[in-house]
Amino acid sequence: MKKNIILLFITAVMFASCSDWLDVNHDPNALEEIPSAKVLLPAVEVGIANNLMGWHFGFGGGFWVEYWTQSTTASQFKALCEYQPQDFNTAYQSLLAQPLTDLKRIKEMTINDENKGYYFIAEALSIYAWQIVTDVWGDMPYFEALKGNEGILHPKQDKQQDIYADLKTRINDLLKIDLSNSSIEGTYDYIFGGDLNQWYRFANSLKLKLLLRLSETEGYNNAEVLSFIQSADLLTGSASIPGSIWDDSMEGKRHPMREFQEGGANYFSQNVIACKTFIDYLSINTDPRLATLFSSGVKGAFFGDFGSKEDSDGNGTTDDKETYAKVVLYPDMDIPLISAWEVNFQIAEVYARAGNAKAKDFYEAGVIASLNKHSISDYSILEGEGYAKWKGGSTEAQIKQIAMQKWVANCNYQHIESFLERNRTKYPSVNEIDIERDRKSAWANFPVGDLTISVAGRGTLSGNIPASPTYPESYMFRNNNHPSQKANIGERVWWNKKTGK
């Protein structure tokens, strides 16, 4: 059932993509079969977005940052919650075979055009998509990837630091392009409706993402990043696939997360419940976003605790019989590639690292952008005794406060980004309390805002939590230059260097 839904949805949105989408090492269609580069752009944009909140990144990211957990009465996501090996293979195949292949085509078709609009967008989205690939899996084929037409059917694996170095070179070269005499047809651009000024801001914001992701590596220079944000033209709104393009009444045309609920799929009504970690943080702190993210109350289960038949909260109902809060997903939700809150929180962090008081302004702008996304105009959590009020303090304290609000803001919108950023900053922190040893004490005393170690998967990663999926099956099976498989999903990517789980 799961695979049928995934394949149906991917097929529905790839109306301008390659015919043999499973082959990630060659370009199955000749360029002359495509009458114009512009016809590829809508499917590329939607294809990237559908992966960001699709099966692997949507559920995998959402579970691993503990927004959600597996229902006590179902089993669909038990392996994910138990930290069993996950390779996110469908996402890998989809990204390589459709968006990245078609983006390569667009660039090849437009590189010599005087009108650089389509080339600029294609290169910006290509850099964005490759950043996702290497951030999720780490070392991967990059320099020789997608060169099947050149006879390279088994591209070698590249180190992530080398991929990042090239991505930064590419974004710098892209930003040198003069777009003043360029244009594109807005009907082919779901994200910005053909506004190249916004695409230039997107590229600058993508550069900021690339720079800040390396904050814990030896080469990071916050002074340089500070200089960049003070001079760059960055996004003030979100770069998103708008919710208006979905058709909730038609199978294959819904928001990807809605696709896994509607039409009899019932993944959210039967398999997914609120995680105690996240819902307690919202509930205890009276965060108004709680009401738009969950229904059926404010109770969540400990992560990966689907086997409990105790009465952890002492209310007379055993854990397996409790009524837990359910996820709310709206038919017209958009999917941000880069969100307004994300950019503001990134700027805030750079200022915090520089000891600059402007961190407060951009932090508050990030929280407000998130509240506005939920149609909330009450900003009292930022005022008075509100829990999100800027507290200042040490640099690390400021980074933590920014990261915690980013964690909240990304729920239902940017799950894989939330997973990657948690790996980078190590916030929310992971608490080592063994829940199964004394559930009643853990229920009453677990630190609010800390992640838990999966109850059922506690021994799988020796007390750690997931850091990256294993290498995709299609890569390991079809590429003769593949590396040894990762031992488990606890292996860190290159830039994930900060101390902590």
Q: For residue 72, name the pLDDT band (cuts at 50, 70, 90).
A: confident
- The pLDDT of residue 35 is above 90: no
Q: Which of 319, 396, 382, 385 lies closest to 352 in space, CA to CA? A: 396
Strands (E), 434-499: none
Q: Which of 91, 24, 88, 140 lies closest to 483 in space, CA to CA? A: 140
Is the separation of the CB atoms in 491 and 468 below 8 Å?
Answer: yes
Provide the 8-state DSSP code for 255: -
Q: Give me the numbers of helices (H) and strands (E) for the chain, helices first please.
A: 20, 8
Q: How far apart are CA 123 and CA 129, in angstroms?
A: 10
* pLDDT tens sequence across 283-300: 999 999 999 999 988 999
3-state helix, strand, coil in the chain (%, to 5): 50, 5, 45
- The pLDDT of residue 7 is above 90: no
Q: If DSSP codes are grouped into helix, strand and coil, which group holds residue 441? A: helix
The pLDDT value recorded for residue 73 is 82
Q: What is the mean pLDDT of the segment spanning 204-232?
A: 97
The pLDDT value recorded for residue 248 is 94
Q: How far apart are CA 131 and CA 167, in angstroms?
A: 8
CB atoms within 10 A of CB 263: 15
**CA angle at residue 388 from 226 to 419, to 5 degrees?**
65
Mean pLDDT of the chain: 92
Q: Dihedral sign, CA of 27, 257, 412, 275?
A: negative
Residues 6+ apart with CB under 8 A from 260: 5, 55, 59, 267, 268
Cα–Cα distances in angstroms (integers) from residue 327 to residues 68, 72, 284, 299, in the given order: 8, 15, 18, 12
Residues 6+ apart with CB under 8 A from 41: 106, 118, 121, 122, 184, 188, 189
- The pLDDT of residue 27 is above 70: no
- The pLDDT of residue 11 is above 90: no
Is the separation of the CB atoms in 216 and 249 below 8 Å?
Answer: no
Question: Which helix (H) or strand (E) is 349 found in, with range?
Answer: helix 340-353
Rg over CA atoms, the chain: 22
Q: How far apart are CA 104 and CA 475, in angstroms?
A: 20
Q: How far apart are CA 82 and CA 245, in angstroms?
A: 36
CA 31: distance to chain centroid? 31
Q: If DSSP codes are grouped into helix, strand and coil, which group holds residue 337? A: strand
- The pLDDT of residue 18 is above 70: no
- The pLDDT of residue 378 is above 90: yes
CB atoms within 10 A of CB 227: 12
Cα–Cα distances in angstroms (integers) from residue 274 to residues 240, 286, 330, 405, in the given order: 26, 16, 16, 18
* pLDDT tens sequence across 331-374: 999 999 999 999 999 999 999 999 999 999 999 999 999 999 99
Cα–Cα distances in angstroms (integers) from residue 48 to residues 100, 131, 209, in the given order: 9, 12, 17
Is the separation of the CB atoms in 70 and 271 below 8 Å?
Answer: yes
The pLDDT value recorded for residue 34 is 65
The pLDDT value recorded for residue 499 is 96
Task: Give the global pTM.
Answer: 0.93
| Percent of the residues in the chain that have a pLDDT greater than 90, as a whole number | 89
The pLDDT value recorded for residue 263 is 85
Residues 6+ apart with CB under 8 A from 284: 448
- The pLDDT of residue 28 is above 60: no
Strands (E), 40-182: 68-70, 140-141, 157-158
The pLDDT value recorded for residue 74 is 85
* pLDDT tens sequence across 145-171: 999 999 999 999 999 999 999 999 999
Is the separation of the CB atoms in 409 and 367 below 8 Å?
Answer: yes
The pLDDT value recorded for residue 33 is 60
The pLDDT value recorded for residue 80 is 96
- Tell me the angle at which helices 276-284 and 395-410 cross, rounded to the nearest 10 degrees: 110
- The pLDDT of residue 25 is above 50: no
Query: Phi and psi dihedrals of 247, rounded to 5?
Result: -125, 100
